[in-house]
Chains A and B, each alone.
Chain A
Amino acid sequence: MTDGARGEGPALELVGLVKEFRGRRVVHGLSLSVPRGSLFGMVGPNGAGKTTTLSMATGLLRPDGGTARVLGHDVWADPAAAKAVMGVSPDGLRLFEQLSGRELLHYVADLRRMPVEESRPRAEELLAVLDLAADANTVVADYSAGMVKKISLAAALIHAPRLLVLDEPFEAVDPVSGQTIRTILRRYVGTGGTVVMSSHVMELVEGLCDRVAVVAGGRVLADDTVGALTAGGSLHERFLELVGASEVSGDGLTWLGG
Chain B
Amino acid sequence: MTLLVVRLRFTMWRTAMSRSSLHLTSSIVGGLVALGVVALLGPGIAVLSTRPLRLTALTVPLFATFTLMWVVLSLVATGVDNVLDPARFTVLPLRARELARGLLAAAYTGIPAVMFVLLSLAQVAAWGAHPAALPAALVAAVLGTLTAVLGSRAVTSALARVMGSRGGRLVGAVAVSLVTLLPLVLNLVLTTGAVGPDLRTFDAGPSARVASWTPVGWAWGMPYDVATGRWAAAGVHLVLAVLLVGLLWEVWVRQLARTLTSPMTAGGGQRIGRARLLPAVLGTGPTATIAARRIRAWYRDSRLVSIALRTAVLPVFFVVQSALTGAGAFAGTGVVTLAVFAGLTLMNDLAFDGPAWWVHVSTGVRGWEDRLGRALASTIVFGPVLVLTFVVSASLGLLHPVVPWASVSLAAFLASLGLAVGVGAVLPGTAPRTGGNPFAASSGGAAQGCLTAVVSFVGPLVLVLPVGVAAVLTAGSPVGRWVVLVVAGAYGAVLLAAGVVLGGRRLDRRAPEMLGQLASAQI
Contacts and interface: CB of A to CB of B under 8 A. Distances in A.
Contact of A94 (B266, B289, B300, B355): B355
A95 to B, nearest CB: 5
A141 B272 contact: no
Interface in B242-291: 266-275, 284-286, 288-290
A98 B285 contact: no
A110 interface: yes
Given A111-B365, A142-B268, A137 B273 contact: yes
B364 interface: yes
Given A97-B434, A110-B286, A83 B301 contact: no
Nearest to B370: A111
A58 B364 CA distance: 11
B272 A100 contact: yes
Contacts of A84: 364
Given A137-B272, A139-B272, A83 B363 contact: yes
Contacts of A60: 358, 361-362, 512, 515
Contacts of A95: 356, 359
B266 A110 contact: no
Given A141-B266, A141-B270, A142-B269, A96 B512 contact: no
Nearest to B284: A110
A103 interface: yes
Interface string A139-158: 10110000000000001000
A83 B300 contact: no
Contacts of B268: 142
Given A61-B512, A138-B270, A139-B272, A99 B359 contact: no
A74 to B, nearest CB: 14
Nearest to B293: A107
Contact of A99 (B266, B286, B296, B516): B296
A112 interface: yes
A111 B266 CA distance: 29
A106 B274 CA distance: 11
A202 B191 CA distance: 72
B513 interface: yes
B297 A116 contact: no
Given A93-B355, A96-B353, A98-B301, A59 B273 contact: no
Nearest to A111: B363
Contact of B513 (A62, A94, A142): A62
Contact of B434 (A93, A94, A107, A138): A94
Size category of the binding interface on chain A: 35 or more
B360 interface: yes
A111 B435 contact: no
Nearest to A81: B364
Nearest to A90: B358
B355 A139 contact: no
A97 B435 CA distance: 8
A61 B516 CA distance: 8
Interface string A58-72: 111110000000000
Nearest to A119: B284
A211 to B, nearest CB: 24
A111 B289 contact: yes
A103 B272 contact: yes
B364 A80 contact: yes
Interface in B281-329: 284-286, 288-290, 293, 296-297, 300-301
B293 A96 contact: yes
A98 B275 CA distance: 13
A97 B431 CA distance: 15
A108 B354 CA distance: 17
Q: Which interface residue of A80, A90, A98, A102 has the most chain B CB atoms within 10 A?
A: A98
A24 interface: no
B363 A98 contact: no
A227 interface: no
A52 to B, nearest CB: 12
Interface in A36-95: 58-62, 79-80, 83-84, 88, 90, 93-95
B16 to A, nearest CB: 14
Contacts of B19: 22
A79 B507 CA distance: 13
A86 B267 CA distance: 34
Contacts of A111: 286, 289-290, 359-360, 363, 365
A88 B513 CA distance: 18
Nearest to A84: B364
Nearest to B271: A137
B300 to A, nearest CB: 5
Contacts of A110: 284-286, 288-289
Contacts of A116: 284
Contact of B274 (A88, A90, A137): A137
Contacts of B434: 94, 97-98, 141
B92 to A, nearest CB: 19
Given A79-B364, A111-B363, A94 B356 contact: yes
11 contacts: A61-B515, A96-B353, A96-B356, A98-B301, A103-B293, A108-B363, A110-B289, A138-B270, A138-B271, A138-B272, A139-B272
Interface of B: 19, 166, 266-275, 284-286, 288-290, 293, 296-297, 300-301, 353-356, 358-365, 434-435, 511-513, 515-516
Given A59-B362, A61-B512, A100-B272, 8 more contacts: A93-B356, A98-B300, A103-B293, A110-B288, A110-B289, A138-B270, A139-B272, A141-B166
Q: Which 4 A-B pairs have the closest CB atoms?
A: A83-B364, A110-B289, A111-B363, A62-B512
